[in-house]
Structure 1
Amino acid sequence: MLRALDIRDMLIIDRLELAFQPGLNVLTGETGAGKSILLDSLGFVLGWRGRAELVRQGAEQGEVVAEFDLPDGHPAHDILAEAGLPGGQELILRRVNLADGRKTAWVNDRRCSGEVLRALSETLIELHGQHDDRGLLNPRGHRAMLDAFARLDGRLAEVRAAWTQAAKARKTVEATQAALDAVRAEEEFLRHAVAELDQLDPMPGEDADLDARRRLMQGAEKIRDDVARAFALLSGEGAEGAMGDALRWLEGVTAEAGGQLEEPIAALGRAMIELGEAQNGVETCLNALEFNPSELEAAEERLFAIRALARKHDVLPDELGDYADTLRGKLNALEAGDADLEQQKADLAAAEAAFDVAAAALTEARTEAAGRLDAAVMGELAPLKMERAVFETKITEGEAGPEGRDAVAFTVATNPGAPAGPLNKIASGGELSRFLLALKVCLTGDDSARTMIFDEIDRGVGGATADAVGRRLASLADGGQVLVVTHSPQVAAQGQHHWRVQKQVQNDVTLSTVVPLSRDERVDEIARMVAGDTITQEARAAAKALLTS
């Protein structure tokens, strides 16, 4: 509920403090007195787009402060929490407009953006008027209004869940299909590469082994002769034979040498052992240097094939085996992917079918609710002297989405047999006002979270019709809060709280002010609305009759 509105230096208002009340609040005054300025100021603090020049002439800045009561569960609490702004039972919006056009806003003394203000305004204020494109005249909101009227939260939740599941399944199919298409584009390469790698079958470390063998065989021819000569010198005809003869000669005379040859003989024995080990090692090397020239050719051919394949696939020779496994995995994935894709497509079909069922049930519920809404609005139109008019909620198939596949539009025909069309295209000013009021009465239900403002919605009507308009506005205000700007005495008389907007000139400066009216002052104001500038006793009597009716 809007509790207070404080306006300073805005247009022709220098300082104005208003304390609004629950129920029906009416604002009256002569044309041009400044009633629209109040709405402009309220729209400014709520972040709505409006006049570019709002600061009062000669002032450095204009400022508007609006105070709201927020009961528990009010949707504004969620917006405050999401924006990281302080909450509570009281909400204070403050916005300043500097003379140079710069604007700054605060929510509960915390700086905020115009976007946050506008989001909050959607939960705080509902404006209705002949030129309102934010509320009932906006076809984009008609579906949500019908759903709220029919209390379709449960069915909407089912449709949204089914849509989310179908969308998730669709993304899965698209991702799998894209991956398979990418693999199929290189399938021929994969199969050729895997066959080539499998045929060569390179082993980890094989490149280094082949390179070492190749180098050894390449050098074997050169060193084998030297190794053979060395082996000959170490064998029986060489060092081994000479050392054996020396050992036999020394052992033959050791007895006569008086023990002096024992150490040399022992040393020769050890040398013979070492010489034997040297012979074995040289012989092993000599045997290793024995090779078939075709073996060198085969080693070189395989080494070059491994290295060529590594260059072709831009990997290291030792990584060829792992690379082959990777390519083989892609081929396996391609074969398995086809089966996965078929299952995913089946899951998608099931999810879409579930969405179709939920959407069809929602369409059926909306169609049934549309009939009830049409009947309810038609019932409200009769007292508003529009019993020949026709209101119809049109439901057509639209683009599928998380809220079903229905497009909803409120249409009217002012006379039977006349073509129906959108509210703001068919109805005249007075008719439009009554259509909007009848529709709002039917759509409000138990929703009293927002303050409703009606800007001259009674324009073009009078007499009993105006009285019916006033009574419906009072009905809407029951348990909530309604502000109405009106020129109709019948509507003004239904108000529980009454303010008069008036102009006054001070020091050659025109200012607008708003004053609360007492019971007697209300009689005079309503009498003025009945009779004009000259208030007669008859007009006062009529005003009193309206106030007591």
Structure 2
Amino acid sequence: MLRHLDIRNMLLIDRLELSFGPGLNVLTGETGAGKSILLDCLGFVLGWRGRADLVRTGADQGEVTAVFDLPRDHPARALLAEAGITPEDELILRRVNGGDGRKTGWVNDRRVSGEVLRQLSDLLVELHGQHDDRGLLNPRGHRALLDAFAGTDLSKTRRSWAARREARAALDAAHAGLEAARKEEDFLRHAVKELDDLAPEPGEEAALDTARRSMQAAERIRGDVARALQILGPEGAEGAMLDANRWLEGAAERAEGRLDPAIEALARALVELGEAASGVETALSALDFDPLALERTEERLFALRGLARKHDVLADDLAGLAAELRDRLDRIDAGEDQIAALRDGVAAADAAYDKAADALHDQRVKSARLLNKAVAAELAPLKMERAVFETRIDPADPGPEGRDTVAFTVATNPGAPSGPLDKIASGGELSRFLLALKVCLARGNDALVLIFDEIDRGVGGATADAVGRRLKRLSEDTQVLVVTHSPQVAALGQTHFQVAKSVADGMTTSRVFPLEPKARVDEIARMLAGDKVSDAAIEAARALLAG
């Protein structure tokens, strides 16, 4: 509910504070008094795109503040949370228009863009009038209105559409993958054969490199070790030391013991020399290798490294690469089977969507007949019993909400061609069509503040009374604001405001006054009689107010 509107230095208004009540609020006044200015200001704070020259002449800036009560279950709360604004029971919208044309908006003292204000406005206010392009005259919203009237559950169609889209995406991806894989099929088969022939294993490169280096080292030192063994053996040091030992032992008898220590040391040296020769011989045996083994090791190592360079991977990753390429080949081989299965999935998803869309279409056709009948019942009291309202349902491209387009069309007389509301109906007829349609569509929707801008234009007498009573009925479920020239409509309002224009010091100003009971009688009498208010007009006004 719109509780309060504060306007400063906007158009013809210098300072205005209005407090609205629940139910039906009516604004009356002479033509040109400034009633539409209030709607311009409300549209401004709601972020609507409108006229640019809003700031009052002579003022630095204009400002509008609107205060709404926000029930706990109001849909605007979710939008506020999404925008990072903590929802509260009171929603305060404020927007400033600078003299330079720049506009700045706030929601509960949090600065926001005009787009956030516009999104909020769609959940707070609905404007209806002869130039309404945001509500019932916009055919893009007619399908949603019909679904809301019928209480249609769209979840099944939306789920089947999502499943259909996913199935088609999976099939498209499989086709693309198979096509890309086929372009490299020859390469894959050659690469897999090459890798399978080599059969690389993780860690093999390091083992081969270690063995190769060991054999290369053995080849370089074996000659030196063999020569050392020869020098240590009987042809070398061992033979010479044995000869020396014999010579010393032969001379020892005549040396009177002087050679005994040397002979003992030489014996010990012979023992150590034997151990050294044995160790060198053992090492020499260990250094024995097959030159062919070195050649085979090097060939294997070079083959691994060459293949790794070719595929730009580490040698240890060749085995994993082989598995990956083999898997890609398997996918090519199994691709047709997979695509056939995915085609079956797409067919099943299409069938499920078609079934849901057909059921939704049937429900819309049935609901359209009910809506047509309901609108016809509302048109009769509005003196349009000969008019024909039709909800037209035509095929459309498939989507998450079915395959239908919905358009509300009218024919003002039987047999006359039908067409869009705003193209066929005249001003007064259009107002009554919109009202009848809104009465049928708005039942139970108390989230929106409904605003009707001179929707009773061109009607009077019993028709105007019928318009007023339907507005009154709407206001039982939601707050309604009506700008009206009809005394029959104004008399049914629960809160009545008079808009008046005055000129002082060459400056024109619009003012709005809430009317007390006596002033309200005078205003409705003026609406009935014009400039000269007679006693009869006063009595007629009292009768209207008495109901």
Q: Same fold judged by TM-score > 0.5? A: yes
2:407 counterpart of 1:409: yes
Deviates further, 175-184 or 373-382: 175-184
* Cα distance in 2, alignment partners of residues 326 and 241 from structure 1: 67
CA shift, 1:234, in A, is 4.1
Identity %: 61
* Cα distance in 2, alignment partners of residues 249 and 408 from structure 1: 131
* Cα distance in 2, alignment partners of residues 249 and 168 from structure 1: 105
* Cα distance in 2, alignment partners of residues 240 and 332 from structure 1: 72
2:265 counterpart of 1:263: yes
Instruction: Decide which of 417, 421, 424 is 1:423's aligned counterpart.
Output: 421
What's the secondary structure of 1:460's corresponding residue? coil
* Cα distance in 2, alignment partners of residues 354 and 447 from structure 1: 32
Residues 1:228 and 1:278: Cα distance change in structure 2 (over 3 Å):
closer
Residues 1:19 and 1:229: Cα distance change in structure 2 (over 3 Å):
closer
Residues 1:323 and 1:449: Cα distance change in structure 2 (over 3 Å):
closer
2:127 counterpart of 1:127: yes
> Counterpart in 1 of 2:209?
208
CA shift, 1:358, in A, is 2.1
Alignment of 1:163-182 (within 5 A): 163-182=161-180
> Counterpart in 2 of 1:10?
10
Residue by residue over 1:382-402, the C-alpha shift from the partner in whole angstroms, topping out at 9 and shown as x without a partner, is 111111111111112212222
* Cα distance in 2, alignment partners of residues 157 and 543 from structure 1: 52
* Cα distance in 1, alignment partners of residues 330 and 426 from structure 2: 71
2:116 counterpart of 1:116: yes
* Cα distance in 1, alignment partners of residues 249 and 372 from structure 2: 137
The aligned amino acid for 1:422 is P
CA shift, 1:360, in A, is 2.0
Residue by residue over 1:242-265, the C-alpha shift from the partner in whole angstroms, topping out at 9 and shown as x without a partner, is 344445555677787474222321
Residues 1:225 and 1:516: Cα distance change in structure 2 (over 3 Å):
closer
8 Å Cα contact 2:212/2:294 also seen in 1: no
CA shift, 1:284, in A, is 5.2
Residue by residue over 1:360-380, the C-alpha shift from the partner in whole angstroms, topping out at 9 and shown as x without a partner, is 222221111111111000111
Residue by residue over 1:181-217, the C-alpha shift from the partner in whole angstroms, topping out at 9 and shown as x without a partner, is 3333222111101111222334522662686489579
* Cα distance in 2, alignment partners of residues 262 and 456 from structure 1: 139
What's the secondary structure of 1:498's corresponding residue? strand
Length-normalised TM-score, structure 2 = 0.90
> Counterpart in 1 of 2:466?
468
What are structure 2's unaligned runs of at least 5 residues?
none
8 Å Cα contact 2:452/2:483 also seen in 1: yes
Residues 1:160 and 1:266: Cα distance change in structure 2 (over 3 Å):
same
* Cα distance in 1, alignment partners of residues 527 and 353 from structure 2: 57
Residue by residue over 1:465-493, the C-alpha shift from the partner in whole angstroms, topping out at 9 and shown as x without a partner, is 22211111111112321111111222222
What are structure 1's unaligned runs of at least 5 residues?
none
2:307 counterpart of 1:309: yes
CA shift, 1:306, in A, is 4.2
The aligned amino acid for 1:268 is L
> Counterpart in 1 of 2:35?
35
Instruction: Decide which of 248, 257, 275 is 1:273's aligned counterpart.
Output: 275
> Counterpart in 2 of 1:185?
183
CA shift, 1:166, in A, is 3.0
8 Å Cα contact 2:27/2:35 also seen in 1: yes
8 Å Cα contact 1:388/1:415 also seen in 2: yes
8 Å Cα contact 1:441/1:472 also seen in 2: yes
* Cα distance in 2, alignment partners of residues 291 and 23 from structure 1: 106
8 Å Cα contact 1:210/1:303 also seen in 2: no
8 Å Cα contact 1:207/1:318 also seen in 2: no
CA shift, 1:8, in A, is 1.1
> Counterpart in 2 of 1:20?
20
* Cα distance in 2, alignment partners of residues 529 and 176 from structure 1: 73
Length-normalised TM-score, structure 1 = 0.90
Deviates further, 52-61 or 256-265: 256-265
* Cα distance in 1, alignment partners of residues 315 and 89 from structure 2: 73
Residue by residue over 1:73-129, the C-alpha shift from the partner in whole angstroms, topping out at 9 and shown as x without a partner, is 111221222222232222221111121112222222222222221121111111000
8 Å Cα contact 1:23/1:477 also seen in 2: yes
Residues 1:123 and 1:317: Cα distance change in structure 2 (over 3 Å):
closer
The aligned amino acid for 1:120 is L
Residues 1:280 and 1:86: Cα distance change in structure 2 (over 3 Å):
closer
Residues 1:487 and 1:197: Cα distance change in structure 2 (over 3 Å):
same
8 Å Cα contact 1:48/1:118 also seen in 2: yes
Residues 1:279 and 1:213: Cα distance change in structure 2 (over 3 Å):
closer
> Counterpart in 1 of 2:68?
68
8 Å Cα contact 1:25/1:495 also seen in 2: yes
* Cα distance in 2, alignment partners of residues 214 and 280 from structure 1: 17
8 Å Cα contact 1:34/1:503 also seen in 2: yes
Deviates further, 174-183 or 245-254: 245-254
> Counterpart in 2 of 1:433?
431
8 Å Cα contact 1:126/1:453 also seen in 2: yes
What's the secondary structure of 2:100's corresponding residue? coil
What's the secondary structure of 2:137's corresponding residue? coil
The aligned amino acid for 1:537 is D
CA shift, 1:417, in A, is 1.8
> Counterpart in 2 of 1:362?
360
Deviates further, 9-18 or 88-97: 88-97
CA shift, 1:177, in A, is 3.7
Residues 1:252 and 1:387: Cα distance change in structure 2 (over 3 Å):
farther
8 Å Cα contact 1:250/1:265 also seen in 2: no
The aligned amino acid for 1:66 is A
Residues 1:299 and 1:144: Cα distance change in structure 2 (over 3 Å):
same
8 Å Cα contact 2:91/2:107 also seen in 1: yes
Residues 1:499 and 1:376: Cα distance change in structure 2 (over 3 Å):
same
Residues 1:147 and 1:248: Cα distance change in structure 2 (over 3 Å):
farther
The aligned amino acid for 1:272 is G
The aligned amino acid for 2:41 is S
* Cα distance in 2, alignment partners of residues 335 and 345 from structure 1: 17
8 Å Cα contact 2:5/2:66 also seen in 1: yes
Deviates further, 126-135 or 17-26: 17-26
Residues 1:14 and 1:246: Cα distance change in structure 2 (over 3 Å):
same
8 Å Cα contact 1:254/1:262 also seen in 2: no
* Cα distance in 2, alignment partners of residues 281 and 377 from structure 1: 111
Deviates further, 107-116 or 256-265: 256-265
Paired residues, number: 540
* Cα distance in 2, alignment partners of residues 149 and 252 from structure 1: 136
CA shift, 1:403, in A, is 1.6
* Cα distance in 1, alignment partners of residues 450 and 47 from structure 2: 17
What's the secondary structure of 2:382's corresponding residue? coil
* Cα distance in 2, alignment partners of residues 35 and 432 from structure 1: 20
> Counterpart in 1 of 2:494?
496
CA shift, 1:337, in A, is 5.4
CA shift, 1:62, in A, is 1.1
2:148 counterpart of 1:148: yes
Residues 1:136 and 1:233: Cα distance change in structure 2 (over 3 Å):
same
CA shift, 1:300, in A, is 6.2
> Counterpart in 2 of 1:399?
397
Residues 1:407 and 1:277: Cα distance change in structure 2 (over 3 Å):
same
Alignment of 1:43-58 (within 5 A): 43-58=43-58
* Cα distance in 2, alignment partners of residues 461 and 246 from structure 1: 150
Alignment of 1:264-413 (within 5 A): 264-282=266-284, 285=287, 287-288=288-289, 291=291, 305-335=303-333, 339-413=337-411
What's the secondary structure of 2:469's corresponding residue? helix
What's the secondary structure of 2:381's corresponding residue? coil
The aligned amino acid for 1:446 is G
